[in-house]
Every structure is written in structure tokens, then in C-alpha cells.
A and B are shown apart, each in its own frame.
Chain A
């Protein structure tokens, strides 16, 4: 069964850091680019970052560039998101999502995790 399970969310003070993980199973993790997508409470979906299958190419949304870092450990089938200098605007459910194809470009997201909630509050 193809599955993505996020963890690491919680309540964090503004300016602090938090790391998220996404454990993948049921598919060959090392063959696919992976994304992080977030959704603020009651709001729409916002793409956050993408990492290529081998970890060599990555892109970020302007809203997180310079503060967030996406990485992966293919030996452990795990995707990560390190979030620094958090602000209230980062409060959201964070989903990891699988690229539907092996190509970096031109593929939508076919598998989503259940999400992990990040709340930035003093």
C-alpha cells in the first residue's frame, strides 16, 4: 500500500525552528521527486518545495526561500523539511506529496500524506 506519513508538527514560538519528516512506503521512494505543500487553516493549498529523486535539484516558494530546507534520505525512504525563522504566517497543515512521474517536471501529485499541523504562536 502506497503511503506517506508525516510527523514532527507542533506548537513553536515565532522565530524558532522545527523539522518535519515524511516516511514513505509501498513504492520505490528513490525514483520520485517529492514535494511539501501547506494549507493554512480555512485556506487553500500552497506549494512549498520540491526535491528531485536524488536530492540534487530543489526549488522553493518565494514565501519560504532562505528559511526552509528540503532534504531526503533515500536509504530510509524519508523526506524532510527544516523550517527556520518561523512566523505566524507559517501556521498550516503541512503535507508531503509524491510526484506522479519520475521526471522532475510535468507531473502532478498523485499521493498525499495525512499532514502534520504546525502552529507558530507565542
Chain B
């Protein structure tokens, strides 16, 4: 099975900082990569699909890029409401594997 590896596992940054999370697939998955945000005690929310397409209602400070095996999620200006764990997910084929998650905190 294709493995999804995120880095870092956690990041602490100041309000207004730029934060970048990387997701690496063990084999190519084309652009079939999604990013989810899970705030503490809440349900996961789909932020980005097709590696870089922002879902409706998602703030423009979020962006995604990449393809093949290397992907990234960037928050251009970190806000307090962005405190959450972020997961990447492949959805090209079974199994629909998630990365292990990256916890984003405010310094």
C-alpha cells in the first residue's frame, strides 16, 4: 500500500506567520490529494481537493500545491482559528490513506 508521510508532526508559530506542511506519498498519486482540518474536539473538514483546489468557504490564506509524490499545504498568515490538526489523504485508489497528521499551534 502507498504510505502518506506528513512533516512536521507539529508546528508552533506566531499569529501572522507563514506555515507550510509537507505530505509525501510513497508512490505517485497524480493530483488525488486532499487536505483536511480537524479542530480540537471537532469533525474533520475538507479544505483542499485535487492537491490545490480550495473548497468553497475556505479562507484564501490556505493554499495547496504539488503533484505526484510531493505535496504541501500553506497557511500564508496564521490565525488563532487555524489551531487544528491537518491531515493529507490520497484518494486515487484503495486504501484511502491519511497522513499521520500535523498539529498546528500558536506560539
Contact = CB atoms under 8 A, between A and B. Distances in A.
A109 B90 CA distance: 11
A95 B32 CA distance: 21
Nearest first, the 6 closest Cβ-Cβ pairs linking A and B are A108-B34, A47-B96, A45-B98, A59-B94, A44-B101, A112-B43
A59 B93 CA distance: 10
A108 B52 CA distance: 13
Interface residues of B, number: 25
Given A47-B95, A108-B91, A100 B46 contact: yes
B-side binding surface: helix, strand, loop or mixed? loop
Contacts of A50: 94, 96
A29 B33 CA distance: 24
B55 interface: yes
Contacts of B101: 44-45
Contacts, number: 59
B87 A44 contact: yes
Given A44-B101, A100-B46, A114-B43, A108 B93 contact: no
B63 interface: no
A109 B48 CA distance: 11
A110 B85 CA distance: 17
Interface in B84-104: 85, 87, 89, 91-101
B92 A105 contact: yes
Nearest to B6: A44
Given A44-B98, A45-B87, A47-B96, A115 B43 contact: yes
Contacts of A107: 91
B72 interface: no
B67 interface: no
B44 A100 contact: no
A45 B98 CA distance: 6
Interface string B20-56: 0000000000001010101000011110010000010
- With most chain B CB atoms within 10 A of its CB, the pick from A45, A46, A62 is A45
